[in-house]
Structure 1
């Protein structure tokens, strides 16, 4: 469709709807609002003094909202590890000072500790003595809140009277501060009218018998003091099983790969002008580098990251025991190689030797923009979450139907035949939570179409889209999956509104 023709159709639709499409309106409104708010916060930050104390001649400064603060430098660990280290330091500091405390809950990658109100002053004295740079205390007292450098916090009356503290160490991620969300909360408990210890500032059910025995809670491989009323380490609300990440990647600029691509296409009677063989599909823009960096930063709980390739390895990839390269030959039969079909590769991911039963499948153009928890992808009892979009599979199929849609249609046909039910929408183009056991069962039950897909060297209308579609829907049908919600945004790199999309991601949540 030419741009002129498309423009005419858009004008005609505008005359019918009498407004811009809601997604476009929302994009302009939210991006404009976020840009304005960020400009105001940035101006305010520049006009105010820097919080904390310099550590490296001032080059460590980053911004948190409308304040600038000194940091401990660039983030050198995942946010998950930062949360664990922060909680460990806070707990050991209280331990060394002889202050009784217990783990009361989890908050993101950090922990919530409880301390008796009578020990609040002693706890503050102990924490302010932490001998490291860039530690801060964010106090909360009803609607009031504020941040103080931890070493200066004891001088603040508001800190001494606060209902809770968030103790964190600040790091820099670009020009932003990372750390508050990975901080350790310190809450205070005092006997109520019932004689039970109640969290101050709360009239809810956060109360327990002060005679509750002490326990040792193991969380993230670290041990903390606990109470029987708060079995946080074994709490069924959190995922405790190992989870892996799996990427598929190819370097289309590799001369050997390109030669094999052309030879195989020619022998199969395929031409490079077909949509399924478009060279742009295999072009690397180093997306994998940035996707891995985002997963490293925000999915630190992942056990192993597997990168499935055609005998290739990115020249920039450093050696790390958590990152494993898997060749197509390790998961596909010899008579299926070489393959240039993502459907074939995805249908064989569960053959990775050592892969966890719970894993999340990434394309290299998927990025994690903020810290997330494994509960986003799986329920604590092991169900895979399925993220459905509003996009519907096409109602008809012809020579122009894209392979991604024909793959979804093949899956819908199988669901209808096997279960008499179908899904109404496609999954989001976002990381796909999968169960290895479900894919193994699916391969056995639908052996003909899965085997045909695995041996299809290029995308074909007979392919089944497994990892990106059917495996998730099969999990739903067999009660091993559940519909979930994810905050995601699909951005086309050639969109005229690309900058607004990126700003909404960068400035929003």
Structure 2
């Protein structure tokens, strides 16, 4: 197995595409799914910032190590995209997701089936289209000797608003396979490591006296993962994964691809790194902070949408974001026509 190659998978959606809109509305009606501001299926989880070309500009400038880029899409493509770029492969949902799960409007289904992409390397980094490389990176920021770079930090049970149940479901599955002592014994020197930073080391230490692990910190950044872990866990948890993937929209009983990362951490399949130094997440409402952030030393920035923004405010905010990106990446990439 060649562990030198590292691919990137990025999922992208154009919520203005008429075919997607028709299918979305049709299946939402069939599922009696109310798409409300407080729902995990709110429109803020689907709308496009029109910043995707800057994602490619960031990768071209800052990830020369990438072997291939697999662009996962419902079927539509940006008009400006150069589909003939030698490193780019366009993958529609129907190219890798089983027919029984299609069409899907659940990011859980998409992410849980990435291992089925034909030609995907054993080592790959999964990006959402709101995660941007803003400074030069090396392959070793993501993998070392074929092992993902990551960080295992124990935290108290946290409140993610609409996402509580996903965290609970993922951790419940972890608890079925591992005791706290299993995880701590296997990872003690990786967890209690100065590479994690004093703040995060302290957070873990405070959780050690408790009998169970409440939660493990998830960083809203790209995820380095081994394809073989996906394959192993689909065999082990087929019924649970299958049930999640049969939902057209995210449901309260679902697990997510975060579980795959959690499992990798639990078995010690990671090389410690300071994830909080690698990147950060920021709300798109914080335009002024974003302008400063994009000139920081972070490698990755994730833009988090806000469902409280009105349509006009969203347009204003994203105009400012695009303006900032244009200053950061003014030159057209070879991924553009």
TM-score, length basis structure 2: 0.72
Encode CA deviations 1:68-121: one digit per residue, 9 max, x unaligned: xxxxxxxxxxxxxxxxxxxxxxxxxxxxxxxxxxxxxxxxxxxxxxxxxxxxxx
Give the whole-Å Cα distance in 2 for the aligned partners of 1:477 and 1:391: 14
Encode CA deviations 1:29-67: one digit per residue, 9 max, x unaligned: xxxxxxxxxxxxxxxxxxxxxxxxxxxxxxxxxxxxxxx
Counterparts of 1:234-253 in structure 2 under 5 Å?
241-253=4-16
Give the whole-Å Cα distance in 2 for the aligned partners of 1:434 and 1:423: 23
Asked if residue 427 in structure 1 is aligned to residue 222 in structure 2, the reply is no
* Aligned 8 A contact 2:157 2:214 in 1: no
Partner of 1:284: 48
Q: Which among 316, 322, 326 is matched to residue 91 of structure 2?
A: 326
How far apart are 1:401 and its partner, in Å?
4.2
Cα distance 1:330–1:267, how it changes in 2: closer, same or farther (>3 A)? same
Give the whole-Å Cα distance in 2 for the aligned partners of 1:360 and 1:475: 14
How far apart are 1:266 and its partner, in Å?
0.4
Counterparts of 1:100-499 in structure 2 under 5 Å?
241-273=4-36, 275-318=39-82, 319-380=84-145, 382-387=146-151, 393-394=157-158, 401-403=161-163, 405-421=164-180, 422=213, 424-466=215-257, 469-486=258-275, 487=277, 488-495=279-286, 498-499=287-288
How far apart are 1:508 and its partner, in Å?
4.3
Give the whole-Å Cα distance in 1 for the aligned partners of 2:77 and 2:20: 12
How far apart are 1:332 and its partner, in Å?
1.5
* Aligned 8 A contact 1:472 1:481 in 2: no
Give the whole-Å Cα distance in 2 for the aligned partners of 1:327 and 1:354: 14
**CA RMSD, 1 decimal:** 2.1
Give the whole-Å Cα distance in 1 for the aligned partners of 2:265 and 2:152: 12
How far apart are 1:407 and its partner, in Å?
1.9
User: What SS class does the counterpart of residue 314 from structure 1 fall into?
Assistant: coil
* Aligned 8 A contact 1:387 1:485 in 2: yes
Give the whole-Å Cα distance in 2 for the aligned partners of 1:277 and 1:476: 28
Encode CA deviations 1:128-152: one digit per residue, 9 max, x unaligned: xxxxxxxxxxxxxxxxxxxxxxxxx
Q: Which structure 1 segments of 5+ residues have no match?
A: 1-238
* Aligned 8 A contact 1:393 1:426 in 2: no
Give the whole-Å Cα distance in 2 for the aligned partners of 1:366 and 1:313: 18
How far apart are 1:457 and its partner, in Å?
1.0
User: What SS class does the counterpart of residue 462 from structure 1 fall into?
Assistant: coil
How far apart are 1:423 and its partner, in Å?
6.8
How far apart are 1:386 and its partner, in Å?
2.1
User: What SS class does the counterpart of residue 22 from structure 2 fall into?
Assistant: helix
Paired residues, what number? Answer: 261
Cα distance 1:391–1:310, how it changes in 2: closer, same or farther (>3 A)? farther
How far apart are 1:368 and its partner, in Å?
1.1
* Aligned 8 A contact 1:423 1:473 in 2: no
TM-score, length basis structure 1: 0.49
More strand per residue: 1
**Bigger CA radius of gyration:** 1
Cα distance 1:260–1:504, how it changes in 2: closer, same or farther (>3 A)? closer
Cα distance 1:261–1:492, how it changes in 2: closer, same or farther (>3 A)? same
Give the whole-Å Cα distance in 2 for the aligned partners of 1:470 and 1:501: 30
* Aligned 8 A contact 2:216 2:262 in 1: no
Q: Which structure 2 segments of 5+ residues have no match?
A: 181-212, 299-337
Give the whole-Å Cα distance in 2 for the aligned partners of 1:278 and 1:258: 14
More helix per residue: 2
Encode CA deviations 1:214-258: one digit per residue, 9 max, x unaligned: xxxxxxxxxxxxxxxxxxxxxxxxx96000000011110001100
